[in-house]
Amino acid sequence: MASRLPEGFAVPVTMRQIARRAGVSAITVSRALAGSELLKPETRDKVLKVAGQLGYRANAAARAMATGRFNTIALLLDAKVSREHLPSNLLYGIQKTLADRGLLLTVAHFSDEQLTDESTVPAILKQVMSDGLLVNYKMGVPQRLIELLERHRIPTIWIESDRPYDCVMVDHAWGAAEATRHLLELGHRQIAFADNHPADLNAELTRGEVHWSLQERREGYAQTMRQAGLVPRFLQVHPSDESRDRLAQARQWLSARDRPTAVVCFLTATALPVMFIAQELGLRVPGELSVITFSDQRESMGIPMSRMRLPDLAIGEVAAQMLLEKIEHPSRRLRSARVRPELDPGQTCSPPASTRRA
């Protein structure tokens, strides 16, 4: 029973107490707090005043019991922190959208082991405690998770997963194409594409460690290059713990005879070594080397990056909105939304030096 609360716990104020004090019934208190129009204004004001005096706070569990709605949605994250990616703006976009509608957000991490072991069911799924789920699970969503969600018919929206329905994602292909177009318009011809994964995608994909979006970006870039009559050029980066490798790679790319005049990067972690080595080699950025990246962060080294601004905030907002719609109509499939990144010209792209010479 609730009365076995520890010593020192605040004794919760209930509607009944307010009712007694205000000389009305509990239901009148309920209506007053809900702002019902039916009540006589004086009654309502009196109740609200007493509630204020007593420091009343509604019991969310009781409300959930009575209404069948939890007014809560849960956000699922990959427990492997190295793979997990939760930008502040994404969390904020979700949270804000929900809060504006009076919903709460709970967060949970799922480990692979939890999902592999058939006998275990993760806490979030063992209980009914939310009205729906947002899954922000970058690298290959575990099959068992999908099965569990379907079995329990939990309304779910997927963030940055490659699914035709019930999903919100960045329009990577468009973003890469746009970045490439930007460089083409500036007059670049030697435009290379560097991503933080090896060119041999398939080997990696099997291991589930490469995000599907890489392929999209590569295609967006390659297609734009070919449309301009140019040959796509991929710079390989081996993911490796030896981070000095990234510098060595960059040095190799930039000291080659046919070095690119512009590089499309995805991660800041790919762009920074490139810029650092450019500095080492005496290549001015952007004068002699243009660099464009995908990021939600304007700068990290004191230089405002030219970038495709990742729409983390919008992704969060759209995901939350879609989930709310799905909760209202659980059986409808919602066409996946693609949100375009936006070009921020920044200060790391300019016309190539060769253009001036010509």
153 binds, among its own copies, DNA, none (CB under 5 to 8 A by kind): its own copies
Q: Give which of its own copies, DNA, none residue 24 binds (C-beta under 5 to 8 Å, depending on kind).
A: DNA
C-alpha span between 341 and 94 (Å, rounded) = 18
**What does the CA dihedral 146, 149, 154, 157 come to, rounded to 10 degrees?**
-20
Residue 57 lies near its own copies (rule: CB under 8 A): yes
User: Which residues in 63-122 contact DNA (CB under 7 A)?
Assistant: 63, 65-68
Structure token digits, residue 268: 């800041």
d(CA 18, CA 217): 60
Using the minimum distance from each CB to its own copies, give the nearer residue, 125 or 177. 125
Could you tell me the smallest distance in angstroms from the CB atom of residue 117 to its own copies? 15
The single residue among 8, 35, 40, 118 that binds DNA, judged by CB under 7 A, is 40
Only one of the segments 35-43, 72-80, 159-167, 184-192 lies at the binding site for its own copies (rule: CB under 8 A); that segment is 72-80
CA-to-CA distance for 356 and 189, rounded, in angstroms? 13
Residue burial 85-117, b: 16+ Cβ < 10 Å; e: rest? bbbebbbebbbebbeeeebebeebebeeebbee
Binding residues among 301-320 for its own copies as defined by CB under 8 A:
301-304
Q: Which does 357 bind (CB under 5 to 8 A by kind): its own copies, DNA, none?
A: none
Q: Is 16 in the site for DNA (CB under 7 A)?
A: yes
Residue with token string 């099997």: 206
Residue 246, contacted partner among DNA, its own copies, none, CB below 5-8 A by kind: its own copies
Cα separation of 57 and 292, whole Å? 51
**What is the closest distance, in whole angstroms, from the C-beta atom of residue 46 to DNA in the complex?**
9
Query: What residues numbered 116-145 form the site for its own copies, per CB under 8 A?
Result: 123-129
Which parts of 243-272 interact with its own copies (CB under 8 A)?
Answer: 243-247, 250, 268-269, 272
Task: Give the single-character DSSP code of 13.
Answer: P
Distance CA 307, CA 205 (A): 26
The Cα–Cα gap between 171 and 81 comes to 24
Q: Which does 44 bind (CB under 5 to 8 A by kind): its own copies, DNA, none?
A: DNA
Q: b/e string for 194-218 if b means 16 or more Cβ within 10 A?
A: bbebeeeeeebbeeeebbbbbbbbb
Among 40, 41, 42, 55, which residue sits at the site for its own copies (rule: CB under 8 A)? 55
- Return the residue of 7, 37, 42, 118 that touches its own copies, per CB under 8 A: 7
**CA atoms within a 13 Å half-sphere pointing along the CA-CB vector of 263:** 29
Window 54-73: contact mask with DNA (x via CB under 7 A) = ----xx--xx-xxxx-----
- Out of 58, 139, 201, 337, name the contact with its own copies by CB under 8 A: 58
* Pick 38 or 231: Cβ nearer DNA: 38
Q: Which of 39, 104, 108, 148 binds DNA (CB under 7 A)?
A: 39
Decide which of DNA, its own copies, none touches 34; Cβ closer than 5 to 8 Å per partner kind: DNA
- Beta carbons of 177 and 249 less than 8 angstroms apart: no
CA of residue 153 relative to chain centroid, distance:
23
Classify residue 58 as exposed, middle or buried by CB count within 10 Å of its CB (0-12, 13-18, 19+).
middle
Of 225 and 305, the one with the shorter C-beta distance to its own copies is 305
Question: Could you list the residues that contact DNA (CB under 7 A)?
Answer: 1-2, 4, 12, 14-16, 24-28, 30-31, 33-34, 38-40, 42-44, 58-59, 62-63, 65-68
